[in-house]
A and B are shown apart, each in its own frame.
Chain A
């Protein structure tokens, strides 16, 4: 992560923020309020927001002073208060980052928010902080770090932030920003009024303009129309951000109040000049802004669930950043020797973190499994639901490899191809997994080192693994005194959903079997109708019968398509979800493992304390010190374990909610598609019959 390159843009934005800063702050607020009057009118209590303003204002000023003092170089201090142009990037960045933290902290204190919110808002900042010392080991930054720790650490420990959550920000912060923002922000820094800022943002590169658009949209509280147009013209990635905003806007009516509050906040902040979020949003490139958007929203006081939903939405929007399409497999090797298949696949993306917009690579099936293994090793313990790949099917593959070109092997390959496509799509849809270097390597690299240990995952082995995990969960649940009813309930739900899905899967499979049978029987009937027609003396009847045979042939094709549609719309979807439910259970398992570690740690600590007591009793000062050290060590460990557990729990919770949301959407999309094709085939059928009817009537 190149921090230096990452910092400048953000610092520049802060400059721009600062430029609209203390002096003009009051005026701006007034302007804003007038501009915002409509919005505010709708907000039930505008006063609180005013208060909040003041608090913010005063706090920030304080903070800024602090920052300027602490940042020893005179330039910086001027920069914050007086906002001239050329600052040294990182210093400026960090010093301005500090205020944000304070703001957040204070703000949350004032509002008595759930601590989760702070995590989110802190995340990027924490990142900035942690980055800065490494890149720029100057004094100022460390000072800032201190500051941060003083203010934020308690909140922070309250709900430990999730590690994965911080990862994306790193990635987003990292590369993409500079090019987009270098100049426009410089221009922006001169502007002070709201409108000017906006126009400058529009002038600026795509992301910025769309953000501006989003703001405008929000103000007018219209749905995303204007905004969407804008988004179309700009880079797709930006459109994500904006969709997030616009969604938060109109779609959920119950969130209205909430949305409006957000609007106010977001508009206030550039004005008051130190609300970094808003300004850092354009600066940190649109993708980071997509993350900051929910963070910002999360500052509002709605229920925890709603924040989560918003977060979900942000994540959901992300999911179309990369489109995966797995092409027809290509066989390698002699027909009789066990060859293997290459699955070519395209991934289309506009994410700047990828070198090319369109990447085509070829991978073996085992590569896909290898990717899963790497991901589940890395992220599984953190409670992430890593999408599982399709199982290795020795029987099916052998049949295909042997080279039998029958329909069942073609069917098999098509199923596998689809399953791989969906698997990969799920991986890249996951905002955290997408950031994983292995995923990127998988998508980009020409040649991949051969995955070694996929054998362990093959076929029955894979299933066994999942089952084992389930068993382990079951066993441990008995031991574990579940403190959180939510998890208990969810686990049960997952279990029953798994059963239901299995049943559904069996039913769909049998439906598909019948469909195929129907297609076959229809073909047979078509044949015998043709024969009957040929044997018929009456010309008109004979003609009608052979027409009938043709119609039946076409209908056979319809049935066949319908069977495929059933298979790929439902059977495969449900099979995917059975696998995914396994992964969900796996994440529960990991949470319990984390709990177990914590409990073990506590037990160990207890033991050490007992030892210490014994030693004290026995009066052995030489060993006593060692024991004390150990206790300290274990205390730290237990704290760490506890945090880990809390972190994993939070992640699992978030992931499960994400999973559920995606499941509903996924099903809905799939069903819509299914119905569309069903309708289409029905209309085709109508056409066939309509064409046949005059033929039948013509028999005399």
Chain B
């Protein structure tokens, strides 16, 4: 499996910033995502279709590059959870922001995933990424996903090793910080999701009210009735505007800060996993060191060997991890900043538009008096 990857060009033939997940095709229960990317040469595009399984395979494949030094120190770009067709509200809830709307947020998340992978200095070297993005045949669809339970087994071990005292102050701080931040980010995302959901509910309620007002119209030639009907119609329009305003507010929330917080949450999780892998390695190293010290002279050489190998690996991991963490932190600030600025701008725009519409309505009503 690794052979094909070896010696692959470190350059992708696509422009990283133009990778787009443009469409979702639904065929029964399976979803197919269309990925469009621009060629590096600038002319022409690659169009490929991938299923969620392909994404999963890619992620898994990247995980298991055993020959790349310090691969375990990489914070792998997080892949969003599987999107199910006709999912129950509970699973949708699990997806968070990605379960909202007509899959656009989900496509956006996949797009971000691909871009992050393609932009990653270590991961983009993998041949599979190139194939994934350009080849019309999906790579390794038939392959057995052997490491699929990796995370699950980690979860079990986690309890034991999570609290392990670190030898490096840098990592100890990062671990503590990550622990804190993961919780808060997750909570903020959840609360924000609540806000958006309620906004959508309000939009729906306004829509209902607006429709119901039309029923209140009274027929007849009587000017009194016509007056009242006019009031009803106008009020219905007002509520329709409120509905539109609410809908677009919810949309803004979702597409900017919502997605930002979601990505944040998943990245924090990914960092946590990486840190955990490192901690595991640390424990392994400490055990090896202990074994080497205690070992009988006969086995001493072998133990020392093992210890050295582990030590090298650990050092490599630490090296990569440090870079990754620093990179992630700047990326994290950038992501949030972008999300906040975009959010704010969009909300401002919506608020201004709504204010404009409301004042028009107000004028109408004042004229009616």
By a beta-carbon cutoff of 8 Å, the part of chain A in contact with chain B is: 493, 497, 500-501, 503-504, 507-508, 510-511, 514-515, 517-518, 521-522, 524-525, 527-529, 531-532, 535-538, 540-541, 544, 548, 657, 660-661, 663-664, 667-669, 671-672, 675-676, 678-679, 682-683, 685-686, 689-690, 692-693, 696-697, 699-700
Contact = CB atoms under 8 A, between A and B. Distances in A.
B155 interface: no
B210 to A, nearest CB: 9
8 contacts: A504-B213, A517-B201, A525-B194, A537-B177, A538-B333, A660-B228, A675-B365, A686-B351
A690 B208 CA distance: 32
Given A528-B184, A541-B337, A518 B224 contact: no
B188 A515 contact: no
Nearest first, the 7 closest Cβ-Cβ pairs linking A and B are A696-B340, A699-B337, A525-B191, A511-B205, A682-B355, A518-B198, A521-B194
A690 B181 CA distance: 28
Given A525-B192, A668-B365, A675-B362, A682 B354 contact: yes
Interface stretch (B12-20, B79-87, B341-349): B341-349
B209 A529 contact: no
A170 B123 CA distance: 96
A668 to B, nearest CB: 6
A672 B205 contact: no
Contacts of B209: 504, 507-508, 511
B198 A503 contact: no
Contacts of A521: 191, 194-195, 198
A628 B201 CA distance: 75
Contacts of B351: 682, 685-686, 689
Nearest to A665: B369
Q: Which of B213, B235, B344 has the most CB of A within 10 A?
A: B344
Nearest to A512: B205
A699 B369 contact: no
A699 B336 CA distance: 9
Nearest to B352: A686
A352 B208 CA distance: 48
Nearest to A536: B181
B145 interface: no
Contacts of A522: 195
B152 interface: no
Contact of A497 (B187, B216, B336, B359): B216
Interface string B4-39: 000000000000000000000000000000000000
A514 B205 CA distance: 8
Given A535-B177, A682-B358, A699-B336, 13 more contacts: A504-B216, A514-B201, A522-B195, A528-B184, A538-B329, A664-B231, A668-B231, A671-B231, A672-B362, A679-B362, A685-B347, A686-B351, A696-B340
Contacts of B238: 671, 675
A497 B177 CA distance: 61
B286 to A, nearest CB: 28
A357 B199 CA distance: 48
Nearest to B229: A664
B365 A525 contact: no
Contacts of B231: 664, 667-668, 671
**Max chain B Cβ within 10 angstroms of own Cβ: one of A541, A679, A700:** A679
Given A504-B216, A528-B184, A696 B365 contact: no
B242 interface: yes
B56 interface: no
B195 A525 contact: yes
Contact of B348 (A689, A697, A700): A689
Contacts, number: 150
B180 interface: yes
Contacts of B340: 544, 548, 696, 699
Contacts of A515: 202
B242 A678 contact: yes
Contacts of B347: 685, 689
Contacts of B333: 538, 540-541, 699-700
Interface in B227-255: 227-228, 231, 234-235, 238, 242
B160 interface: no
B65 interface: no
A510 B205 contact: yes
Contacts of B144: none
B333 to A, nearest CB: 5
B215 interface: yes
A540 B205 CA distance: 39
Interface string B355-369: 100110110011011
B225 interface: yes
Interface string B98-127: 000000000000000000000000000000
Given A518-B202, A686-B355, A531 B345 contact: no
B220 to A, nearest CB: 9
A229 B46 CA distance: 78
Given A667-B228, A693-B348, A524 B201 contact: no
Interface in B165-208: 177, 180-181, 184-185, 187-188, 190-192, 194-195, 198-199, 201-202, 205-206, 208
B247 to A, nearest CB: 13
A411 B345 CA distance: 35
Given A525-B191, A541-B333, A672-B362, A493 B205 contact: no
Contact of A657 (B216, B224, B343): B224
Contacts of A514: 198, 201-202, 205
Contact of A535 (B184, B205, B218): B184
B168 to A, nearest CB: 17
Contacts of A503: 212, 215
Given A507-B209, A532-B188, A500 B215 contact: yes
Given A507-B209, A514-B205, A529-B188, A661 B355 contact: no
Contacts of B354: 682
B198 A697 contact: no
B271 to A, nearest CB: 13
A694 to B, nearest CB: 9
A534 to B, nearest CB: 8
Contact of A672 (B190, B337, B369): B369
B272 to A, nearest CB: 14
Given A493-B218, A511-B209, A518 B195 contact: yes
Nearest to B235: A671
B228 A535 contact: no
Contacts of B242: 678
B188 A525 contact: yes
B336 A672 contact: no
Contacts of A664: 224, 227-228, 231
Nearest to A534: B184
A176 to B, nearest CB: 31
A525 B192 CA distance: 6
Contacts of B218: 493, 497
A501 B216 contact: yes
Contacts of A501: 216
Contacts of B368: 668
Contact of A537 (B184, B199, B235, B329): B329
Contact of B212 (A500, A536, A544, A657): A500
